[in-house]
A and B are shown apart, each in its own frame.
Chain A
Amino acid sequence: MRDETLEVENLHLWRGERHVLRGVHFAMTRGTCLEVTGANGSGKTSLLRTLCGLIYPEEGRVLWNGADVRADLPAFHAALAYLGHEPPLKAELTTRENLHYWIGVRRRIDAAAMDAALARVGAGPWCERLVRTLSAGQRRRAALAGLALLLVPLWVLDEPTTNLDAEGQQLVGSLIGEQLARGGMVIAAVHHHLPASVPAITRLELPS
């Protein structure tokens, strides 16, 4: 069995005149979690988007299993799940429909797996409601159900606990814990620390 590794080498990113990322580097192996912190505007989201290959850095590279991800971006993307600030949900579809289309584009899912994921995040009672009628916290939970369904080795999460109540934040902690226990990796950009239940956290603070 192959061990996945993620290495970030000397990442430099400029946004206009701003030098946002100044030589960021770190390495991760399976079962580990990296918590990225920093003040507003310190480049947390830019770092995550650069990692995912959505933004091209001016300097530096991201290595997945030792190979530059740019050599085969689709293969790298197939191994990662990215959850940004806004849950990628359509307001005019129900939670179940949203997951069917969003996750279905990437992998085949059966009804039992869908039901289990919805139940896992507490979405059972409202999964047939249109997303526009849901609260921000419920929408975040729906996105977490999608994350759980993707079954990929690398999770890249931007403020995963935003809009969630205390129970929801614990849910994020336990989902991350399960991902790590399966041998996956998690990178999360946060304003407030991840729940204490998350094991094997290393921290990276971006300078202002």
Chain B
Amino acid sequence: MSDAARGAVAASALDAARLALLRDLRLAFRKRAQLVQPLAFFALVTMLFPLAISPELARLRQIAPGVLWVAALLASLLALEFLFRDDAYDGTLEQYALSGQSLTWLIFAKTAAHWLLTGLPLALMAPLAALSLGVPAAALPGIVLAVAVGSIALSLIGSISSALTLGIKRSGALLSLLTLPLSLPVLIFGARATQLAISGGPLLPPLELLAALAVLGVTLAPLAAAAAVRISLE
């Protein structure tokens, strides 16, 4: 090793991922509009349904699972556009790819930050939205859990689409076209879990399926997204 490299202690992969995550969290709190946008969208969509369909709570309760999950999916999509775009524009992704660290780890850290900033707040907001749709209070813990687990899978699926559309201008429509079909299993199991939480049925099977999707996503999505990022940097 040359004198130029002597004295430098390389950061561990875990340190690198932690810093990538902390950077995204700090940036998000400096750009609050981006942070609030998906949450406001989620709240607005779920509040519009009672106005558009009927104020009758029994009827709203029936459609609540679908409304909650479609709104959560679309809100999550809104935030996806920002997942890699700014980093691609200002050269951060290039630096990550050339850092000597695992790009997969760094992409995973970025996706984790995305979930903390979008999926987790959506899960925490879900009770308010559910109450406005006439959902009984007893169902709320199950709904929070389902949205929290399901949104992990949504963030991971979204990271692949977001990375694949990086080099494309005005990629919003394509991003939706790629993400929505892949997200269908999450939507189906999430809505089923919410339905069972409302009716008091056995919540565990759909929750386990959601968790399985999240685990599959954790295993495969960062690898796929990192490969897509590398291609976009060419």
Contact = CB atoms under 8 A, between A and B. Distances in A.
B2 A93 contact: no
A18 interface: no
B153 interface: no
Given A74-B101, A88-B91, A90-B90, A105 B20 contact: yes
A3 B5 CA distance: 12
Q: How large is the interface on A (under 10, 10 to 19, 20 to 34, 35 or more residues)?
A: 35 or more
Q: Tell me what chain B mostly uses at the interface: helix, strand, loop, or mixed.
A: helix
B56 interface: no
What is the predominant secondary structure among interface residues of chain A facing chain B? Answer: loop
A92 B27 contact: yes
B16 interface: yes
B9 A106 contact: no
B92 A90 contact: yes
A131 to B, nearest CB: 10
20 contacts: A2-B1, A30-B2, A54-B98, A77-B99, A88-B95, A90-B92, A92-B30, A93-B23, A93-B26, A104-B15, A104-B16, A106-B10, A106-B11, A106-B99, A108-B9, A108-B11, A151-B7, A153-B2, A179-B4, A182-B2
A4 to B, nearest CB: 5
B27 A152 contact: no
A54 B11 contact: no
Contacts, number: 117
A74 B27 CA distance: 27
Nearest to B102: A74
Interface of A: 1-4, 30, 52-56, 74-75, 77-80, 82, 84, 86-93, 97, 100-102, 104-108, 150-153, 179, 182-184
Contacts of A82: 94-95, 98
